[in-house]
Structure 1
Amino acid sequence: MAELRFDDGAAYEQMMGVWSRSVGEIFLDWLKPAQGLRWIDVGCGSGAFTELIVARCAALDVQGIDPSEGQLAFARARPGARGAVFQTGDAMALPFSAASFDVAVMALVLVFVPNAAKSVAELARVVRPGGLVATYMWDMLGGGFPLDPILNEMRAMGLTPTRPPHMEVSTLAALEDFWSAAGLLEIETRQITVQRTFADFDDFWNVETKAPSTAPVIAAMPAADVAELTRRVR
């Protein structure tokens, strides 16, 4: 299976940054973390959620980890993320010692990690006893992924866009199992519903087709097929 890699920070910000902040606001309201904590944001991408942590949590320390230097360059340039430290790293082998943080979070990441269980174990390892380990993820199997209107029509046309490698880990039951297996206690899950409004169809199309799951497929399609796909999605 081809790897889904997000390397264009500006494109990712347009495509997913708005979604991540919308979910992230509700997520932080739910978590109600104390102020002045040490945070690690694993798979921080363009820094959209990291920026929320900085703005809302008066964090003592914020570390952002991502495998893409392109994403990290964008995150470092965010005025609202000043004070956060961004570095390349692997979610399955975090470059920190045990109990380094009070809170470890992953925002819209888990389905893209080759070994989700290992990454959750790493989150638990780097958080102190009594700390918090949390994630939010699209309901990939329940129609909750923003790219579904495009991906569904691609598949109906016989096309094969690249999908996240582990969509099955996005269900609430699967997430509970991962947290239990990592030895975490007082486990809670909830559903978060958010909406996004685009200016018009062209705005939606231009933004959401920047994804690495759609952009290479569309770029290789004959113009007539692109027109047909656009018509079907519209």
Structure 2
Amino acid sequence: MVAIADGEVDVSEQGIRFDDGASYEQVMGIWSRLAGEIFLDWLAPPAGLRWIDIGCGNGAFTDLLFERCVPSEVHGVDPSEGQLAFARTRPGSRSAAFHKGDAMALPFPAHRFDAAVMALVIVFVPNPARGIMEMVRVVGSGGIVATYVWDMLSGGFPLDPILGEMRAMGLSPPQPPQLGSSRQEALRDLWTGSGLEAVETREITVRRTFADFDDFWTINLKGGTIGPAIAAMAQGDAAELKGRVRRRLPADAAGRLTYGARANAIKGRVPK
């Protein structure tokens, strides 16, 4: 089984899975919101659009659509019932309709929406080109097709401080199957190759602060890919990893830990 989502991923051969909405909110939902706010400011969409949020996960980005875009309707699609259940509890997203579905076979007719977006999803889509064509199919002429994704091959991923030290120790942490699609040039090729017009890209940089290192460590070990991988390590190796990451991310005078992440974003229009 391969499932694709903002908050839930099951890629069996890679050992990757996100299916706990509450844990995902702490690990990645906050990061997603930080980047998503800049992304939506860049899109600058008019009010009253019909949106589809593909790979909506626990609804972190769906919530932003209601806060910032005054949509006429929003539909979220995700393969994880657990993540969708969490999304439905968000007060800001109660007007959204959430559906269990696949990014490469969206359960909607052609030209159903005015805007289609993916938040942090495309690297998990086994066939990114097929996923983009599905976005194009369900959006009407002149509509928006856009995404943002962590720049995972150039050190932009929020979990890189941990993953980098794991690799330095000779470990091979699970990784998404389509890392190459996180590059700006790969995104541009996908967008232009699908026939979209007025294609533009940009880089999004964000920063997040944790109360201290223990706050950072505890949050990032909740569920997902890193927690199980570290739990399976020998006690001494896990302690070594923690020490290496602590040295990599020095705290400020108050003990707070702040660092940044970087995403690549792209947008285009369906030809009229």
**TM-score interval for Structure 1 and Structure 2 normalised by the shorter chain:** over 0.9
User: Which residue matches 1:110?
Assistant: 122
SS in 2 for 1:144: coil
Superposition TM-score, scaled by structure 2 size: 0.84
Q: Distance in 2 between matches of 1:175 and 1:83?
A: 31
- Identity across matched positions, percent: 64
Aligned partner of 1:110: which letter? I
**2:5 corresponds to 1:6:** no
SS in 2 for 1:118: helix
Q: Distance in 2 between matches of 1:160 and 1:143?
A: 16
Q: Distance in 2 between matches of 1:154 and 1:69?
A: 31
Per-residue CA deviations over 1:97-133 (Å, capped at 9, x if unaligned) read 0000000000000001111111011000000010000
User: Which residue matches 1:213?
Assistant: 225
User: Which residue matches 1:58?
Assistant: 70
Q: Is the 8 A contact 1:69 1:88 kept in 2?
A: yes
Q: Distance in 2 between matches of 1:81 and 1:215?
A: 29
SS in 2 for 1:190: strand
Q: Distance in 2 between matches of 1:197 and 1:150?
A: 16
**2:29 corresponds to 1:29:** no
Q: 2:141 aligns with which of 117, 123, 129?
A: 129
Q: Is the 8 A contact 2:20 2:223 kept in 1?
A: no
**2:80 corresponds to 1:80:** no
How many aligned positions are there? 234
Q: Distance in 1 between matches of 2:245 and 2:110?
A: 47
Structure 1 residue 5: Cα displacement: 2.2
SS in 1 for 2:210: coil
Q: Distance in 1 between matches of 2:214 and 2:180?
A: 31
Structure 1 residue 222: Cα displacement: 1.7
Q: Distance in 2 between matches of 1:5 and 1:222?
A: 22
Q: Distance in 1 between matches of 2:40 and 2:167?
A: 35
1:30-45, aligned counterparts within 5 Å?
A: 30-45=42-57
Aligned partner of 2:172: which letter? T
Q: 1:202 aligns with which of 210, 214, 232?
A: 214
**2:110 corresponds to 1:93:** no
Q: Is the 8 A contact 1:98 1:126 kept in 2?
A: yes
Q: Is the 8 A contact 1:40 1:105 kept in 2?
A: yes
**2:193 corresponds to 1:157:** no
**2:266 corresponds to 1:229:** no
Superposition TM-score, scaled by structure 1 size: 0.98
SS in 2 for 1:17: helix
SS in 2 for 1:188: strand
**2:166 corresponds to 1:186:** no
Structure 1 residue 213: Cα displacement: 2.1
User: Which residue matches 2:258?
Assistant: none
Q: Distance in 1 between matches of 2:221 and 2:124?
A: 18
Q: Is the 8 A contact 1:109 1:137 kept in 2?
A: yes
Q: Is the 8 A contact 2:166 2:241 kept in 1?
A: yes
Structure 1 residue 211: Cα displacement: 4.8
Bigger proportion of residues as helix: 1
Q: Is the 8 A contact 1:50 1:64 kept in 2?
A: yes
Q: Distance in 1 between matches of 2:16 and 2:190?
A: 22
Q: 1:176 aligns with which of 169, 180, 188?
A: 188
Q: Return 5+ residue gaps in structure 2 as ranges.
A: 1-12, 247-272
Q: Is the 8 A contact 1:61 1:84 kept in 2?
A: yes
Per-residue CA deviations over 1:42-99 (Å, capped at 9, x if unaligned) read 0111101100101121111100011111111110001111100111110000000000
Q: Distance in 2 between matches of 1:133 and 1:214?
A: 31
Q: Superposition RMSD on alpha carbons, in Å?
A: 1.0
